Amino acid sequence: MSVLPIITAPDPRLKKKCQPVEQVDSQIVQLMDDMLETMYAAPGIGLAAPQVGVLKRVIVVDVGHDDQRDPRFFANPEVVWHSDDVASYEEGCLSLPENFSDVVRPAAIKLRYLDRDNTPQEMEADGLLATCIQHEIDHLEGILFVDHISALKRSMILRRLTKAKKAHRPLAKYATA
Protein backbone atom coordinates (compact mmCIF):
# COMPACT_ATOMS: atom_id res chain seq x y z
CA MET A 1 0.00 0.00 0.00
CA SER A 2 1.06 3.57 -0.67
CA VAL A 3 0.22 6.96 0.75
CA LEU A 4 -0.97 9.10 -2.17
CA PRO A 5 -0.79 12.90 -2.44
CA ILE A 6 -4.11 14.58 -1.62
CA ILE A 7 -5.30 17.32 -3.98
CA THR A 8 -6.37 20.54 -2.26
CA ALA A 9 -8.83 23.18 -3.38
CA PRO A 10 -9.08 25.15 -5.49
CA ASP A 11 -7.90 22.44 -7.89
CA PRO A 12 -10.23 22.04 -10.91
CA ARG A 13 -10.03 18.22 -10.69
CA LEU A 14 -12.09 18.38 -7.49
CA LYS A 15 -15.01 19.86 -9.46
CA LYS A 16 -15.17 17.09 -12.09
CA LYS A 17 -17.71 14.26 -12.17
CA CYS A 18 -16.23 10.79 -11.87
CA GLN A 19 -16.67 7.83 -14.18
CA PRO A 20 -18.29 4.59 -12.97
CA VAL A 21 -16.08 1.60 -12.23
CA GLU A 22 -16.72 -1.14 -14.79
CA GLN A 23 -15.72 -3.81 -12.30
CA VAL A 24 -13.83 -4.01 -9.06
CA ASP A 25 -10.65 -5.71 -10.21
CA SER A 26 -7.18 -5.91 -8.65
CA GLN A 27 -6.36 -2.38 -9.84
CA ILE A 28 -9.44 -0.91 -8.11
CA VAL A 29 -8.75 -2.96 -4.95
CA GLN A 30 -5.20 -1.55 -4.92
CA LEU A 31 -6.61 1.97 -5.32
CA MET A 32 -8.99 1.31 -2.40
CA ASP A 33 -6.12 0.05 -0.22
CA ASP A 34 -3.92 3.04 -1.12
CA MET A 35 -6.80 5.44 -0.45
CA LEU A 36 -7.41 3.86 2.96
CA GLU A 37 -3.74 4.17 3.92
CA THR A 38 -3.74 7.78 2.67
CA MET A 39 -6.87 8.56 4.68
CA TYR A 40 -5.41 7.07 7.87
CA ALA A 41 -2.12 8.95 7.38
CA ALA A 42 -3.84 12.31 6.85
CA PRO A 43 -5.73 11.56 9.25
CA GLY A 44 -9.35 11.50 8.11
CA ILE A 45 -12.54 9.44 8.20
CA GLY A 46 -13.34 9.42 4.48
CA LEU A 47 -11.64 9.82 1.12
CA ALA A 48 -12.90 9.87 -2.47
CA ALA A 49 -10.83 8.90 -5.50
CA PRO A 50 -10.86 12.38 -7.09
CA GLN A 51 -9.10 13.68 -3.96
CA VAL A 52 -6.07 11.62 -5.03
CA GLY A 53 -6.43 12.53 -8.71
CA VAL A 54 -8.39 9.48 -9.89
CA LEU A 55 -11.71 10.31 -11.54
CA LYS A 56 -13.39 7.00 -10.69
CA ARG A 57 -16.45 6.42 -8.49
CA VAL A 58 -14.59 4.95 -5.51
CA ILE A 59 -14.74 5.99 -1.83
CA VAL A 60 -13.39 4.66 1.45
CA VAL A 61 -14.62 5.53 4.94
CA ASP A 62 -13.87 4.55 8.51
CA VAL A 63 -15.75 6.24 11.34
CA GLY A 64 -14.47 3.70 13.89
CA HIS A 65 -11.93 4.51 16.56
CA ASP A 66 -8.17 3.87 16.47
CA ASP A 67 -8.53 0.77 18.61
CA GLN A 68 -11.59 -0.46 16.66
CA ARG A 69 -11.18 0.46 13.04
CA ASP A 70 -14.06 -0.26 10.69
CA PRO A 71 -12.86 0.35 7.11
CA ARG A 72 -15.50 0.31 4.39
CA PHE A 73 -14.94 0.27 0.64
CA PHE A 74 -17.43 1.38 -2.01
CA ALA A 75 -17.34 1.39 -5.81
CA ASN A 76 -20.13 3.17 -7.68
CA PRO A 77 -21.93 4.16 -4.45
CA GLU A 78 -25.44 5.46 -4.98
CA VAL A 79 -27.94 6.70 -2.42
CA VAL A 80 -31.22 4.95 -3.27
CA TRP A 81 -33.18 6.33 -0.31
CA HIS A 82 -32.74 9.06 2.27
CA SER A 83 -34.76 10.05 5.31
CA ASP A 84 -36.79 13.21 5.52
CA ASP A 85 -35.14 13.83 8.89
CA VAL A 86 -31.93 15.82 8.70
CA ALA A 87 -28.84 16.10 10.85
CA SER A 88 -26.20 18.79 11.08
CA TYR A 89 -22.54 17.91 11.52
CA GLU A 90 -19.46 20.06 11.51
CA GLU A 91 -17.68 18.83 8.39
CA GLY A 92 -14.12 19.20 7.29
CA CYS A 93 -12.30 17.84 4.28
CA LEU A 94 -8.79 16.64 3.54
CA SER A 95 -8.95 18.68 0.31
CA LEU A 96 -9.86 21.84 2.25
CA PRO A 97 -7.46 21.47 5.19
CA GLU A 98 -8.13 23.26 8.45
CA ASN A 99 -11.58 24.48 7.35
CA PHE A 100 -14.83 23.37 8.94
CA SER A 101 -18.50 24.27 8.72
CA ASP A 102 -21.85 22.86 9.79
CA VAL A 103 -23.59 21.05 6.92
CA VAL A 104 -27.17 19.73 6.99
CA ARG A 105 -27.78 16.38 5.27
CA PRO A 106 -30.34 13.57 5.47
CA ALA A 107 -29.93 11.78 8.82
CA ALA A 108 -30.23 8.27 7.33
CA ILE A 109 -29.60 6.75 3.91
CA LYS A 110 -29.81 3.49 2.01
CA LEU A 111 -26.87 2.86 -0.28
CA ARG A 112 -26.25 0.59 -3.27
CA TYR A 113 -22.64 -0.17 -4.30
CA LEU A 114 -20.07 -2.75 -5.40
CA ASP A 115 -17.84 -4.17 -2.67
CA ARG A 116 -14.16 -5.18 -2.88
CA ASP A 117 -15.21 -8.53 -4.40
CA ASN A 118 -17.25 -6.82 -7.16
CA THR A 119 -20.45 -8.02 -5.48
CA PRO A 120 -23.49 -5.71 -5.52
CA GLN A 121 -24.44 -4.71 -1.98
CA GLU A 122 -26.97 -2.56 -0.17
CA MET A 123 -26.64 -1.06 3.28
CA GLU A 124 -28.33 1.44 5.53
CA ALA A 125 -26.44 4.08 7.46
CA ASP A 126 -27.27 6.85 9.88
CA GLY A 127 -25.44 9.32 12.08
CA LEU A 128 -21.82 10.12 11.33
CA LEU A 129 -21.48 7.19 8.89
CA ALA A 130 -24.37 8.48 6.75
CA THR A 131 -22.91 11.99 6.79
CA CYS A 132 -19.44 10.75 5.84
CA ILE A 133 -20.73 8.59 2.98
CA GLN A 134 -22.82 11.48 1.59
CA HIS A 135 -19.83 13.83 1.86
CA GLU A 136 -17.64 11.40 -0.10
CA ILE A 137 -20.33 10.69 -2.73
CA ASP A 138 -20.56 14.46 -3.26
CA HIS A 139 -16.87 14.40 -4.24
CA LEU A 140 -17.74 11.92 -7.01
CA GLU A 141 -20.14 14.54 -8.42
CA GLY A 142 -17.62 17.39 -8.15
CA ILE A 143 -19.33 18.83 -5.07
CA LEU A 144 -17.39 19.99 -2.01
CA PHE A 145 -18.83 20.50 1.47
CA VAL A 146 -18.37 24.26 1.00
CA ASP A 147 -20.93 24.07 -1.82
CA HIS A 148 -23.51 23.43 0.93
CA ILE A 149 -22.72 26.57 2.94
CA SER A 150 -23.26 30.29 2.39
CA ALA A 151 -21.54 31.94 -0.56
CA LEU A 152 -19.76 34.35 1.76
CA LYS A 153 -18.24 31.67 3.96
CA ARG A 154 -17.37 29.52 0.91
CA SER A 155 -15.63 32.49 -0.72
CA MET A 156 -13.61 33.21 2.43
CA ILE A 157 -12.45 29.59 2.69
CA LEU A 158 -11.51 29.30 -0.99
CA ARG A 159 -9.66 32.65 -0.96
CA ARG A 160 -7.64 31.54 2.07
CA LEU A 161 -6.78 28.22 0.36
CA THR A 162 -5.79 29.98 -2.86
CA LYS A 163 -3.58 32.42 -0.96
CA ALA A 164 -1.90 29.59 0.95
CA LYS A 165 -1.30 27.63 -2.27
CA LYS A 166 0.23 30.62 -4.06
CA ALA A 167 2.50 31.37 -1.13
CA HIS A 168 3.43 27.67 -0.76
CA ARG A 169 3.02 28.13 2.98
CA PRO A 170 1.37 25.87 5.52
CA LEU A 171 -2.28 26.74 5.91
CA ALA A 172 -1.97 27.32 9.66
CA LYS A 173 -0.54 30.76 8.95
CA TYR A 174 -3.93 31.74 7.53
CA ALA A 175 -6.15 30.04 10.07
CA THR A 176 -8.56 32.26 11.92
CA ALA A 177 -9.49 31.98 15.55
Positive or negative, the Cα torsion across 55, 60, 61, 66? negative
Q: Is the peptide bond before 10 cis (omega within 30 degrees of 0)?
A: yes
pLDDT digits (tens, 9 = 90+) for 74-91: 999 999 999 999 999 999
CA pair distance 148, 68, nearest whole angstrom: 31
The CB density around residue 41, as the number of other CB atoms within 10 Å, is 11
List, by residue number, the catalytic residues.
136
Give the CATH number of domain 12-170; options: 3.40.630.150, 1.50.10.20, 2.30.110.10, 3.90.45.10. 3.90.45.10
Q: What would the pLDDT profile of 41-67 be if each residue is shown by its tens digit?
A: 999 999 999 999 999 999 999 999 768
Burial grade of 158 (CB within 10 A; 0-12, 13-18, 19 or more): middle
pLDDT mean over 137-147: 96
Q: Count how many Cα atoms sit within 13 Å of the Cα of residue 107 in the half-sphere of its side chain.
A: 6
Q: If you average pLDDT over every residue of the chain, what do you get?
A: 92
Cα–Cα dist 24/47, whole Å: 17
pTM over 0.85: yes
